[in-house]
Amino acid sequence: MALLTDLLNLDLTDSTEKIIAEYIWIGGSGMDLRSKARTLPGPVTDPSKLPKWNYDGSSTGQAPGEDSEVILYPQAIFKDPFRKGNNILVMCDCYTPAGEPIPTNKRFNAAKIFSNPDVAAEEPWYGIEQEYTLLQKDINWPLGWPVGGFPGPQGPYYCGIGADKSFGRDIVDSHYKACLFAGVNISGINGEVMPGQWEFQVGPTVGIAAGDQVWVARYILERITEIAGVVVTFDPKPIPGDWNGAGAHTNYSTESMRKDGGFKVIVEAVEKLKLKHKEHIAAYGEGNERRLTGKHETADINTFSWGVANRGASVRVGRETEQNGKGYFEDRRPASNMDPYVVTSMIAETTIMWKP
C-alpha cells in the first residue's frame, strides 16, 4: 500500500488539467486564519478569473446562524508549496451576500487608501519584520525551554547557532523556502533575542501587496508548524518578565523619501506620526502595552520618540538614511499580532493623505 507521503506528493499535472485552489481568509478574531479547498478546471493566474465562494460565518464568529453566509472574494494568488504543481493558494477578503465588506474585512479600507491618487503616486514601499514564538504543543511553553523551568538569560540566542541556543530552525528554514516558492517576497530570517523566538522579513512590497504577502506568509508558517506538531504564537509578550516581546517593525518609504532631499520628507512624516500617536497605538495590535514598556528595545507606549539608529525609540531612522539624505524609516511600535492591512494603510494615510 502506498505510503501517505507518496499520495500527498502525487503530481497531478501528468493525469489531469484540474488544479486545487486553497481559499484563505481571516476569521472573526482578526488573527485566526481559515482555509478550504476546491477543484478548478485548469490553471489560473489572475484572481479576477477565480470564482467567488462562500462559507459559514456563524462558525467563525462573523455572522449570525440565521443569516450565516459570507462571500469570499479572491484577491491574490500564490503558488501552493504544499501541493505544488499548478495548485494555488488564494488570499481572499470577506463580504455579505449584498456585497458589503463585513466588519473584520480590513483589506477593503486599506485598498481604498492605496488606490487614492496621492498615495499611488508616492508608491509606498514596506518591509515588515514579523516576529513570532514557537511553543511546545499542549503545554504552551517556548520550544527549547525546560518544561516548567527557564533557560539561561538572554544574550546568546539572537542569531545564535547550536543545539543549546537555537530551537526550531528546521521549521524556520522550511518556511523560508516555502515562501520563496509561493511567490512571497520574503527577504530574510533570523533567530531572535528570546530563545524559541524567530523573525522573518517580507519586502520590499508596494501598497496592498504588503498585507497580502504577510498574511500568506503567516498562513504558510502555521501550516508548517501544524505538520511539525508545534504551535506558533504572535502574542506580543508571550513570557512575562525579563524576556523580549515580539513586534512587527514596519519599514516604510515613499517616492519623495527615496529621492534626493528625501530626509526632509521623512522628518515631516515622522512629525505627523507623532501627532497621531494615540490613534496608531490603538490600531497596532492587542496586548501591545505588555510589550511597549520602555525596556527590551522598545519605547514606552504613552510617549512618542524618534531618533537616528535608536532602537529604544518609537520610530528609528537608519544611520545610512541620515548620511544619504534620503531613504526610509522604521515604525517600531506595531505588535507581532498587528493586522498588516491596517498598519500599512494607516501609515500611508497619516503621512501622505492627512494634512494637519
Residues 6+ apart with CB under 8 A from 205: 125, 126, 127, 185, 213
Query: What was the pLDDT predicted at 229?
Result: 98
Query: Grid coordinates in use for 348?
Result: 500611508
DSSP 62: S
Nearest to 321 by CA among 248, 260, 272: 260
Q: What stretches of 147-277 adopt beta strand conformation (E)?
A: 186-191, 197-206, 230-233, 248-253
DSSP string, 265-279: HHHHHHHHHHHTHHH
Give dist(CA 34, CA 25) in Å, integer: 5
DSSP string, 153-169: PSSS-TT--STTT---H
Query: What was the pLDDT predicted at 1?
Result: 53
pLDDT tens readout for residues 224-257:
999 999 999 999 999 999 999 999 999 999 999 9
Q: Are 112 and 39 in contact (CB under 8 A)?
A: no
Give dist(CA 326, CA 245) in Å, integer: 30
CATH number among 3.30.590.10, 3.40.50.720, 3.40.50.1100, 3.40.50.300, domain 117-353: 3.30.590.10
Element (H, E) at 8: helix 4-8
| Alpha helices (H) in 46-116, listed in sequence order | 107-114
pLDDT tens readout for residues 343-353:
999 999 999 99
Nearest to 332 by CA among 109, 182, 140, 129: 129
Element (H, E) at 38: strand 33-40
Amino acid identity of residue 327, one-letter, is: G
Query: Grid coordinates in use for 273?
Result: 506620526
Query: What was the pLDDT predicted at 296?
Result: 82
Element (H, E) at 331: strand 329-331
Query: Grid coordinates in use for 175?
Result: 518556511
Domain spans in the chain, listed from the N-terminal domain onward: 4-104, 117-353
Query: What was the pLDDT predicted at 265?
Result: 97
Pairing state between β 306-308 and 197-206: unpaired
- Angle of CA points 185, 327, 130, to nearest 5°: 35
Give dist(CA 177, CA 329) in Å, integer: 28
Neighbours of 114 (CB within 10 A): 21
Nearest to 245 by CA among 129, 132, 127: 132
Give dist(CA 55, CA 124) in Å, integer: 33
pLDDT tens readout for residues 12-42:
998 999 999 999 999 999 999 999 999 999 9
pLDDT beneath 50: ranges in the chain: none
Give dist(CA 39, CA 22) in Å, integer: 9
Query: Grid coordinates in use for 209?
Result: 501587496
Q: Does domain 4-104 have CATH number 3.40.50.2300?
A: no
Query: What was the pLDDT predicted at 136?
Result: 97
